Structure 1
């Protein structure tokens, strides 16, 4: 421990030659704030550094490598439920890249932007509204302040036909553990004309090494933007029975496979919709958890919520949208599909205003308030309204404005298994998870998102109150059991936080052996984010030795 402290102090002395004093913070208050977690124990860093250039990042990483100091980079620290703003382990030094927040290039003709890690989805959305209103960015439900780079580097996704963010990434700038800076794709050729429009370059494609790993620190990416379509409409649908899930998935999957539906399609259960609108009704349940069936049914009835509720969008030429709408109306006829575009939404708002003038229209106003942020997301407009669902089980009154989950004691443990686009697989997964949630006293909040033509991601989370130790322990037990069941049944999560990294690694698996070998080659001192997805290098003997033996 003394050697570790000495190394850290030596490292900070080196950093003082790179950054001014006001961009080095080792105060207890700041360290504790960054160490807060929505799941698991706090992971308090030794210090927080705020670089603003790639050269500064490279200098810091080189100093960390030389002094045997572990550093962990965050983009904006809004990774709630997946690690938040903290390091992988206590004692690492945080590189907060939020001040690297420039839109470095915007090309309207070829529809791409070059952005730094500190650029939020709200910032880029506003930048496009001002400088390129004919382009959309794909946004997630993580709020206006969430980083686009950070989400991309964890295989995050959004809502438009550009919803798979890694597929919309076309080249990166990366600082390696020894301080070298590389550009992937064609980016390392000084005169390349296609580095932002053709992702592969020539030779091995290295981009994947820096996604869900700790091989380097990404300081910029090139992302493709969606041209504003000639026509656009959203669609919503509802199934009133639990067994409708299988039928809905099997009706939509062929349309996704044929390319008629190109946006991400979200299918959420009633509990997911409730959590977005309200806090858990402890007064109605006399404190009983999970939500009793009679109360659950009553909330569904009052809120006009289905057992399964879905949305997506259709865009393209007017003829394309008209034809796809016709097919969707046929395929989803049993599920009361409705189509909403800008004109219909504006009409509903005018009607609501008129009704409000005579003391009516309250219900319509409430529905518009719920639907408009969803509609905006389908067009790439981020909103903070979707953050509300993170505090479903917090026992305080809901604030008027959406709040940072960490500030309202929200406990969040995400699980995100990948599922084939088949109704029977979705049902199998629900049958595995629901008894575990019930056993531990939690609600099975579930959304299935058709992210590709062949796969869905099931987003589900344990929601709890961080101030109640007994509930925190039950949440941990529930997470452990769910992860074990998911891994054993083949529904492997696409993403994790620090609590789950080790559970995703299989001992003796050649895949992870190769990953470990690459890590040892690029980062033999384990300088960058030790333990993030890749096993810490001191966890096991040399991979090369094991392979040779």
Structure 2
């Protein structure tokens, strides 16, 4: 087994301070693969490379020769070998390493590595010339939502991360930075430390720091400081449009401007939103605001004993969160996830491979851990110097203790590797590598997420919780719910963990997820983000007024991308050449990703 790649030797590496943790995580992942007999090299069963519908072998070869001539042979790779899943720090850019479908569904035909905005323009113009779909990724770590896989099989993946990885600016005066797609949260944090700015500037980071700052933000990912809404803290985009032109949004449209990262709006319509969760352009530069060091922080952990405490707890959280007494995007996690995140397989606690782990066994396991037995755990952080934190912490304590059995856990005795300290690091701007340990719950562990948004109300929390629990029980899947509470809304994030080598486990996970999406939509709850497989279904739930929103998206798509080459189908937005030709994926479609034709061209 090779060693873990590190920064700065490679753009996608781990910081040195996390190297030992990464080595241990990798060893655990591969041990579980070996125990299940899983081969990390997945043989191809269909013709290689996977060509897009309507593109002949001869046309593809001619197009690849043209692309090599423009970018250099060393920057173009045809995907004609066995697929390798790898793991989080050595993930593929050719397919979804956590696939919920057949291995051959979402597979790239080739990968190209542009080194500049001009290179991206060249690739886009090449795609228009040869009518080959392209699928841009920043670094391909959007795990649980499709990873690096293209929605249209046989697309050419445009990997922006390998060569476009510059941190173009970090300003300690206005607390901003300007980055390219290959800059991870790990890399940005390391660079701030290297410049001696770590005592001044914080990076808001998600649960895992290996993803691209641009990729996470454009897909509207979140972190866990008061700057947790990443899209809300971005300022300024450089975008290559699907026809090859380049635009800069906001103040960036003014030549010689000096406020691109300080003021996001500029003059006229605010167009940034159409480049978020869309296929209307390729973001090659982005500004984002950094959090000033608040002068200290103090993380805390409260546990609550009863499942039925949920509604009252959410009612207590709402006013505290809206008033910013609870300051960060904190997490309310269920005990099953608390057991799983320790990184042990479920067989350690319960030997049968099918069916749910009984609740009493989960509680028995939790009772042996430092936080003790509980049903709900609230991880939060207060910010500022001690005298500023004290009144907020007192108010939180008084409010939470209204729930019988509430415990404020003394974390001072926790060992250094306890999960609490990972949440403490993340809530104070230091990226970590701990969260995916719950994937080790099953052999060949993979995950896919159910993530509806609701008001911060006890009734809504209970409704969504019961909806998801019921469907998990029907499909025989252990239930891992967590509520992430924003200022006026909350996300229920349910991670479905499954064995990616088991057809039956994958089918159960996908059926459960499709059921929950429909159940939630019927009650007025929509997904904020979803996997490639679910994009058509989720987009279809936003159907008010005769699908008027999608009609507007399609109008924009056809105007900006007349040849339909840029990420067709992403977020359910199909160009005219694909509509009505069987490309939309639903339960009824048989979970096949390909339609019959493109723009009248017959299937190959």
With the shorter chain as reference, the TM-score category is 0.7 to 0.9
Does residue 381 of structure 2 align to residue 316 of structure 1?
no
Structure 2 match to 1:20: 72
The secondary structure found in structure 1 opposite 2:260 is: coil
Matched, 1:230 2:330: no
2:462 maps to 427
Aligned-partner SS, 1:192: coil
- Taking the aligned partners of 2:292 and 2:150, their CA distance within structure 1 comes to 37
The 2-side partners of 1:522 and 1:427 are apart by 43
1:375 and 2:424 are equivalent in the alignment: yes
Aligned equivalent of 1:509, options 547, 558, 562: 547
Q: Distance in 1 between matches of 2:246 and 2:192?
A: 29
Q: Which moved more, 1:35-44 or 1:85-94?
A: 35-44
- How do 1:394-413 and structure 2 match up within 5 A? 394=443, 409-413=444-448
In 1, Cα distance between equivalents of 2:468 and 2:81: 39
Is the contact made by 1:111 and 1:224 (CA closer than 8 Å) also made in structure 2? yes
TM-score by length of 1: 0.88
User: Of the candidates 359, 380, 384, which is equivalent to residue 293 of structure 1?
Assistant: 359
Aligned residue in 2 for 1:204 = 269
Q: Name the residue aligned to 1:150.
A: 215
Distance 1:539 1:67, change over 3 A: closer
Match of 1:75 in 2: 138
The answer to whether the Cα contact below 8 Å between 2:79 and 2:109 also exists between their aligned partners in 1 is: no
Matched, 1:336 2:404: no
Q: CA deviation at 1:4?
A: 4.5
Q: Deviations over 1:450-501 (max 9, x none)?
A: 12x2100111021111122221221222122122212222211100121111
Q: Which has the higher helix share?
A: 1
**Alpha-carbon contact 2:363-2:373 (below 8 Å) kept:** no
Task: Write the deviation string for residues 172-219 of structure 1: whole angstroms up to 9, x where unpaired.
Answer: 111100111111111011122221111111111111111100001101
Measure how far apart 1:411 and its partner are: 2.5
Does the alignment pair 1:41 with 2:102?
yes
2:533 aligned with 1:465: no
1-side partners of 2:572 and 2:247: how far apart?
Answer: 21
Alignment of 1:476-515 (within 5 A): 476-506=510-540, 508-515=546-553
Bigger mean CA offset, 250-259 vs 502-511: 502-511
Structure 1 contact 7–69 (Cα < 8 Å) conserved: no
Post-superposition Cα deviations, 1:481-535, rounded to whole Å, max 9, x if no partner, equal: 1222122222111001211110122364111100110000000111110000143
* 2:603 is aligned with 1:540: no
- Is residue 182 of structure 2 the alignment partner of residue 121 of structure 1? no
Q: Structure 1 residue 139 and structure 2 residue 205: aligned?
A: yes
Q: Give the TM-score taking structure 2 as reference length.
A: 0.80
1:326 is aligned to 2:394: yes
State how 1:102-117 maps to structure 2 within 5 Å.
102-117=166-181
Once residues 229 and 125 of structure 2 are traced to their aligned partners in structure 1, the CA distance between those partners, rounded to angstroms, is 33
Q: Is the 8 A contact 1:82 1:498 kept in 2?
A: yes
CA distance in 2, matches of 1:17, 1:96: 18
Paired position in structure 1 for 2:12 = none
Query: How far has the Cα of 1:252 moved from its partner?
Result: 1.4
**Is the 1:233–1:339 Cα contact (8 Å) retained in structure 2?**
no
Distance 1:84 1:125, change over 3 A: same
Gaps of 5+ in 1: 349-363, 395-408, 543-549
The residue that corresponds to 2:26 in the other structure is none
Kindly state the Cα deviation for residue 284 of structure 1 after the two structures are TM-superposed.
4.0
- The equivalent of 2:44 in structure 1 is none
Distance in 2 of aligned mates of 1:193 and 1:175: 22
Distance, in Å, in 2 between the alignment partners of 1:468 and 1:61 is: 38
Aligned residue number for residue 567 of structure 2: 529
Residue in structure 2 matched with residue 547 of structure 1 by the alignment:
none
Unmatched segments (≥5 aa) in structure 2: 1-52, 85-91, 582-604
Secondary structure of the equivalent of 2:424? helix
- 5 Å matches for 1:153-164? 153-164=218-229
Shift of 1:374: 1.6
| C-alpha distance in structure 1 between counterparts of 2:73 and 2:141, whole Å | 25
Name the structure 1 match of 2:473.
438
Q: Which residue of 2 aligns with 1:357?
A: none
Structure 1 residue 27 displacement after superposition:
4.0
State the SS of the aligned residue for 1:500. Answer: helix
Q: Deviations over 1:329-366 (max 9, x none)?
A: 211224223587xxxx5xx5xxxxxxxxxxxxxxx43x
Match of 2:304 in 1: 239
Rounded to whole Å, the distance in 1 between the matches of 2:374 and 2:69 is 60
TM-align CA RMSD? 1.9
Q: Is residue 128–residue 563 contact of structure 2 (8 Å, CA) maintained in 1?
A: yes
| Post-superposition offset of 1:13 | 2.6
Q: Supply the distance in 2 between the matched residues of 1:14 and 1:184 (Cα, whole angstroms).
A: 31
Distance 1:30 1:530 in 2: 25
Secondary structure at the counterpart of residue 483 of structure 1: helix
- Alignment equivalent of 1:520, drawn from 558, 568, 573: 558
What is the alpha-carbon distance in structure 2 between the residues aligned to residue 185 and residue 247 of structure 1?
43
